[in-house]
């Protein structure tokens, strides 16, 4: 009776088993297993901690496995609120918002951390034309230079005398913008969203560039104190703007206050903006790869997709199961989303997310920016209290 009871208990405990596991209560003394939840390649595996079978058979981790998730590699920690990140070549660039610097490091192991640009005013989002790095300084103050767009070439060899900044390796492209946030560089044009309804720059700036989508040539839009000609061109205005993206045909941006994604022909928005998707809750990030546009809706926890040709204001819902989706990065294989208040990184398979959304990292401190290369996904964590505690980090995880 004792052996029968042991066998029945074994059957209840095992999801995967064979007849060789049905042993008497005394069999464990010779090392034979009494139970096994999961078999992978003929071997018993604990999917919660097995580095070679993490969460599912065959999912191999580089570092370790905990709770069924691969352990991320922390490239650098102790940062003051890192926001936007960008991969270029072997380097990873980060806008360290609270530490008022744009920094770079090795994307391989985080070594060589150094300042790319110092004395910034809350650097936030990054963009590139593959030669230069561009960023927004999300400020709105009366002292020079206010909210700015700046840039520098990646090898930091070009002096900015061409823009009147002789002796500097990074240049002002725009000055005295009221809290510039989103930025997109396409061809010879830069597109920026501003977030404030007032401009706290010098007197000539009052009322200029507020709640606006502005465009200017990649070079030569640096008009000090909002005076003179040749300054930025306001191609649209909005209510409460967020991210912006551009492809060879259009420029797209999120208007959180109006609950829409708008678009218009770039660079000058001829014909004015039109709704790309509307009746959204809280649209925030928008990204185009020239074929499809993906955008996040923080209010509804949704990730949407629409072809660049348009979808009659009926975008495809890729998933509506996210918590506070902030920024998104995608390619033909996967989409990755940061969950700011949820503390997670989520992924799904493109083009349709048909196999569902997977949480690939959790327990994070306000994950913000996200970037990809062919092998890894990288993200920034703002840290606690908006970076005041200097506990932000940049991490990576091998793509599955």
Q: Clarify whether residues 109 and 157 are in a common domain.
A: no
Q: Clarify whether residues 86 and 126 are in a common domain.
A: no
Taking the C-alpha atoms of residue 259 and residue 300, their distance in angstroms, rounded to an integer, is: 11
pTM of the predicted protein model = 0.88
Kindly state whether residue 53 falls inside one of the protein's structural domains: no
Kindly state whether residue 182 falls inside one of the protein's structural domains: yes
Q: Clarify whether residues 354 and 383 are in a common domain.
A: yes
Kindly state whether residue 382 falls inside one of the protein's structural domains: yes
Has residue 40 got a pLDDT over 80?
yes
Which residue, 215, 237, 259, sits at the end of a domain? 237
Decide: helix, strand or coil at residue 33.
Answer: coil
Percent of the chain residues topping a pLDDT of 70? 87
Parallel, antiparallel or unpaired: strands 316-319 and 376-381: unpaired
Could you tell me the CA-to-CA distances from 173 to 269, 277, 319, 362 in Å, in that order? 21, 31, 38, 38
Average pLDDT of the segment spanning 343-354: 97
Which residue, 237, 269, 304, sits at the end of a domain? 237
Q: Clarify whether residues 128 and 216 are in a common domain.
A: yes
- List the domain range (segments joined by +) for residue 189: 121-237
Task: Say if CB 281 and CB 297 are below 8 A apart.
Answer: yes
Decide: helix, strand or coil at residue 21.
Answer: helix
* Residue 173 pLDDT level (bands cut at 50, 70, 90): confident
* Per-residue model confidence as pLDDT tens digits over 308-319: 988 888 999 999
Kindly state whether residue 18 falls inside one of the protein's structural domains: yes
Which residue, 237, 269, 299, sits at the end of a domain? 237
Q: Clarify whether residues 94 and 142 are in a common domain.
A: no
Has residue 186 got a pLDDT over 90?
yes
The lowest-confidence range among 52-66, 132-146, 218-232 is: 218-232
Most confident region among 7-16, 142-151, 160-169, 319-328 by mean pLDDT? 319-328
Kindly state whether residue 273 falls inside one of the protein's structural domains: no
Task: Mention every residue, 6+ apart, whose C-beta is less than 8 A from residue 393.
Answer: 74, 75, 76, 77, 78, 79, 82, 365, 380, 381, 383
Q: Clarify whether residues 190 and 125 are in a common domain.
A: yes
Q: Clarify whether residues 144 and 223 are in a common domain.
A: yes
* Residue 34 pLDDT level (bands cut at 50, 70, 90): low
Taking the C-alpha atoms of residue 226 and residue 229, their distance in angstroms, rounded to an integer, is: 9
Kindly state whether residue 312 falls inside one of the protein's structural domains: no
How confident is the prediction for the chain on average, in pLDDT? 88
Q: Clarify whether residues 134 and 229 are in a common domain.
A: yes
* Per-residue model confidence as pLDDT tens digits over 114-130: 999 988 989 999 999 99
Kindly state whether residue 51 falls inside one of the protein's structural domains: no
Count structural domains, the chain: 3
Has residue 23 got a pLDDT over 70?
no
Kindly state whether residue 294 falls inside one of the protein's structural domains: no
Strand order in the sheet with 344-349: 325-330, 334-339, 344-349, 358-361
Most confident region among 21-30, 292-301, 307-316 by mean pLDDT? 292-301
Q: Clarify whether residues 135 and 204 are in a common domain.
A: yes
Task: Mention every residue, 6+ apart, whose C-beta is less than 8 A from residue 137.
Answer: 120, 121, 122, 123, 124, 147, 148, 149, 150, 180
């Amino acid at each position: 009776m004792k052996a029968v009871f042991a066998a029945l208990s074994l059957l209840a405990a095992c999801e995967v088993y064979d007849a060789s596991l049905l042993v008497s209560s005394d069999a464990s003394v010779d090392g034979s297993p009494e139970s096994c939840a999961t078999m992978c390649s003929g071997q018993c595996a604990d999917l919660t901690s097995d580095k070679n079978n993490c969460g599912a058979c065959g999912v191999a981790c580089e570092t370790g496995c905990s709770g069924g998730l691969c352990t991320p590699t922390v490239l650098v920690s102790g940062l003051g609120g890192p926001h936007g990140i960008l991969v270029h070549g072997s380097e990873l660039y980060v806008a360290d918002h609270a530490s008022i610097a744009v920094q770079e490091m090795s994307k391989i192991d985080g070594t060589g951390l150094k300042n790319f640009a110092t004395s910034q005013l809350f650097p936030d989002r990054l963009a590139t034309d593959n030669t230069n790095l561009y960023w927004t300084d999300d400020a709105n103050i009366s002292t020079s230079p206010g909210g700015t767009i700046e840039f520098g070439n990646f090898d930091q060899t070009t002096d900015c005398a061409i823009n009147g900044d002789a002796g500097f390796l990074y240049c002002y492209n725009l000055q005295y913008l009221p809290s510039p946030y989103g930025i997109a560089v396409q061809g010879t044009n830069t597109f920026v969203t501003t977030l404030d309804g007032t401009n706290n720059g010098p007197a000539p700036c009052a009322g200029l560039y507020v709640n606006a989508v502005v465009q200017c040539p990649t070079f030569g839009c640096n008009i000090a104190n909002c005076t003179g000609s040749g300054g930025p061109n306001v191609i649209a205005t909005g209510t409460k703007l967020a991210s912006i993206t551009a492809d060879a045909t259009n420029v797209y941006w999120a208007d959180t206050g109006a609950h829409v994604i708008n678009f218009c022909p770039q660079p000058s928005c001829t014909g004015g903006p039109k709704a790309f998707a509307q009746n959204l809750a809280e649209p925030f990030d928008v990204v185009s790869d020239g074929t499809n546009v993906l955008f996040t809706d923080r209010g509804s926890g949704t990730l949407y997709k629409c072809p660049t040709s348009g979808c009659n204001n009926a975008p495809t819902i890729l998933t509506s199961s996210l918590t506070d989706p902030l920024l998104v990065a995608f390619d033909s294989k996967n989409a990755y989303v940061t969950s700011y208040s949820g503390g997670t990184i989520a992924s799904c398979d493109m083009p349709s997310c048909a196999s569902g959304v997977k949480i690939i990292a959790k327990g994070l401190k306000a994950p913000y920016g996200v970037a990809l290369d062919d092998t890894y996904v990288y993200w920034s964590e703002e840290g606690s209290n908006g970076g005041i505690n200097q506990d932000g980090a940049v991490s990576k995880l091998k793509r599955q």
